[in-house]
């Protein structure tokens, strides 16, 4: 089931608390502004990440962090689980031959395609720079 459908179903679920529903309704409204009615999980994640980043930024300016923390807590459950950096390093050693690239940083595209949003690009960049 797509992220979009999960969000829509949670909004309709009578067992979901009001705070969660309110946060999800804002995300749903953004999803409905997209050109296509059915959006991909990639687009859904982009919208969710934007709301999380906005909430984090607002927390730095607002002493009443409650509402912003609710947004982060509710939406974080939709983000893919992060992959441990040691697991990424092992995968790179098994699957990437840096001699095929003029610059080993060029392998980053292949690594990011494999792991997607489950890894942080900055961490991968640091890891590649440290590897021999």
- Residue 92 to residue 113: CA distance in whole angstroms: 12
Between residues 82 and 26, the one the model is more confident about: 26
Which pLDDT belongs to residue 60? 83
pLDDT higher than 80, residue 65: no
Which two structure tokens, joined as six digits, stand for 89? Answer: 């390093």
Alpha-carbon Rg for the chain in angstroms = 18
- Residue 27 to residue 32: CA distance in whole angstroms: 9
Which pLDDT belongs to residue 66? 67
CB 85 within 8 A of CB 127: yes
Which pLDDT belongs to residue 28? 96
- Rounded to two decimals, the pTM is 0.70
Name the region of 119 (left: φ>0; alpha: ψ -120 to 50; beta: rest).
beta
- Residue 132 to residue 115: CA distance in whole angstroms: 21
Average pLDDT, integer, range 51-61 = 88
Which pLDDT belongs to residue 64? 65
For 3-46, the pLDDT digits (tens) are 999 999 999 999 999 999 999 999 999 999 999 889 999 899 99
Distinct helix (H) and strand (E) counts, the chain:
7, 0
């Amino acid at each position: 089931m797509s992220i979009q459908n999960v969000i829509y179903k949670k909004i309709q679920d009578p067992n979901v608390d009001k705070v969660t529903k309110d946060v999800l309704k804002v995300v749903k409204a953004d999803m409905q502004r997209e050109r296509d009615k059915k959006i991909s999980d990639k687009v859904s994640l982009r919208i969710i990440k934007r709301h999380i980043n906005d909430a984090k930024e607002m927390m730095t300016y607002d002493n009443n962090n409650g509402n912003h923390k609710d947004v982060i807590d509710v939406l974080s459950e939709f983000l893919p689980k992060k992959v441990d950096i040691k697991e990424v390093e092992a995968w790179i050693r098994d699957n990437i031959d840096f001699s095929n690239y003029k610059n080993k940083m060029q392998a980053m595209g292949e690594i990011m395609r494999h792991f997607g949003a489950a890894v942080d690009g900055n961490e991968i960049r640091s890891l590649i720079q440290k590897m021999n």
